[in-house]
Each structure stands twice: as C-alpha cells, then as structure tokens.
Amino acid sequence: MASNASDRPRIGITTYLEPATWGIWQREAALLPRVYLDAVVTAGGVPILLPPLGTDPSILDVLDGLIIAGGCDVDPGSYDAVPHEETVDTRPGRDEHEATLIRAALDRDLPLLAICRGLQMLNVTLGGTLHQHLPDLITSDEHRPSPAVFGRTEVELEPDSLTARLLGDRSSVHCYHHQALDAVAPALRVTARAADGTVEAAEADGYGFALGVQWHPEENAEDLRLFTALIDASRRRTA
C-alpha cells in the first residue's frame, strides 16, 4: 500500500545505467544527479531510485508519485524514425523501461512529473514524435549552449492550464536539450512554448497530475514549485 497522507510521499525517480568511477572502482552503475534528490527531499518527499533493469510496473503500487528524469537521446526507433546524425548515445532499454512506467502511472492516475527527456518519453509513449536535432529548425543552440552548460529560456504558459496555475504566465527556466516534441500525442495538451515555438511543457488532460516540462526544474533550487506541486498531488491522492 502507498503511504498515508501524513507521511512524506514516496517519489520514484528513473535513473541512468552508465559506466561510472568512484574510489578505485570503474563499473556500470545506476546513476542520478543529486539535484533531483535534493529537490524531492526539500519539497517534502522521499526519493526512491528506479534503475532501468528488472522493470515491474507493480512497483508503482508502493509509490505515491513518479518522476521521469532527464538524460540521453530517445531512440528514434521508439517512434519509427530514421536516426539523425546528431542523435547519439541512445538507450533503448531505458526507453522501454520508462514507457512501461509511464503507462502504468497513467493507468493508476499516479502523480507524474516528466523532466526534459521525460517529456519526450511521455510524448513518444502516447504516440507522438520528436525533432531529433532542434538547431536544424531554429538555427540556434540556445537550448543547449555548450557541453554541460545550461541555457536560460523564457517560456510563455497557456492560460487555464495546470502549468500556468503553478508558474504564472511566463517563466525563465534552465534548459539543456537538442531534441524536442514534433507531432504532439493526441492525449497531450501543449501548455508552454519558447519564443522560437519549441514545445516547453505539455500535460495530459483527465488526470490528477500528469505534467511534462522540457526544462530542468531541479537545477533551480530557489524555485521548486513543480516538485512541491507533485508532492502535494501525491498527498491528496493517498488521503
């Protein structure tokens, strides 16, 4: 059973499976940047890591909310596309893992926050497609200025959306991506765009809390409204 409303909600977060080095060891490991953990803890939740192995959607029965984290490019095979030369470092196993968890979360109406790659996976899982290399469309690298450097993007939010209720009409956000939503899945509603037209947020209507953002809210420790909203929705669901 999921936790009681008086508890700190248990929030599952998907992880990377990558080569890693610590101490004298060099081995493959399940990884997640600490900023995700700090954001969940500060917002009032307990983070639980979900590695892309041994996928079993029944794990969601003991969770109160789910975060689909950022990471590598989504495999174009997920949406029947030919790989672009700039689409690299894909992880089809992680794609399958996260698609399974997304479907199970929506089936359970489990509060869901999908971040960057997470929004792309939400769209692809529900039948949408991706632009594989955004600079081909907008002739700019502003969404990913240089390796390991986050850009700042001004986004305009759609009125009467969950996203706008949480963040207002406009917001300045941290971004780092070169892929973005192309054909938007029928089940999703676009709720924020950048000035260049890039889809920056989308939500699934008919659910208590199912929101994806193209930016990285975990990178702004001074503004954790999306994480707080996820925690609040998780508490309401288990009340």
Q: What is the pLDDT of residues 165-193, one digit of tens each?
A: 999 999 999 999 999 999 999 999 999 99
The catalytically annotated residue of 116, 131, 178, 219 is: 116
Q: What is the CA radius of gyration of the chain?
A: 17
Catalytic-residue membership of 175: no
Query: What sections of the chain are H helices per DSSP?
Result: 34-43, 92-108, 117-125, 135-138, 162-167, 225-238
Q: According to the model, what pLDDT value does residue 5 have?
A: 44
**DSSP bridge pairs for 170:** 156
Q: Tell me the pTM.
A: 0.95
Residues contacting residue 115 through CB under 8 Å, at least 6 positions apart: 67, 68, 69, 70, 212, 213, 215, 216, 217, 218
Which residue is it, tokens 């983070």? 47
Catalytic-residue membership of 116: yes
Backbone angles phi, psi at 42, to 5 degrees: -65, -35
Q: In a 10 Å sphere around its CB, with 0-12 CB exposed, 13-18 middle and 19+ buried, how is residue 174 labelled?
A: middle
Catalytic-residue membership of 216: yes
Name the CATH superfamily, with its identifier, for domain 10-238: Class I glutamine amidotransferase (GATase) domain (3.40.50.880)
Selection from 90, 86, 24 nearest residue 52 by Cα: 90
Give every residue of the chain whose pLDDT is below 70, as ranges. 1-6
The catalytically annotated residue of 175, 200, 216, 219 is: 216
Q: According to the model, what pLDDT value does residue 239 have?
A: 81
Task: Kindly report the number of other CB atoms within 10 A of residue 215's CB atom.
Answer: 29
The catalytically annotated residue of 98, 200, 203, 218 is: 218
Is the sign of the CA dihedral 162, 168, 173, 177 positive or negative?
positive
18-50 as b/e: b if 16+ CB within 10 A: eeeeeeeeeeeeeebeeebbebbeebbbbbbeb
CA–chain centroid gap for 209, Å, is 13
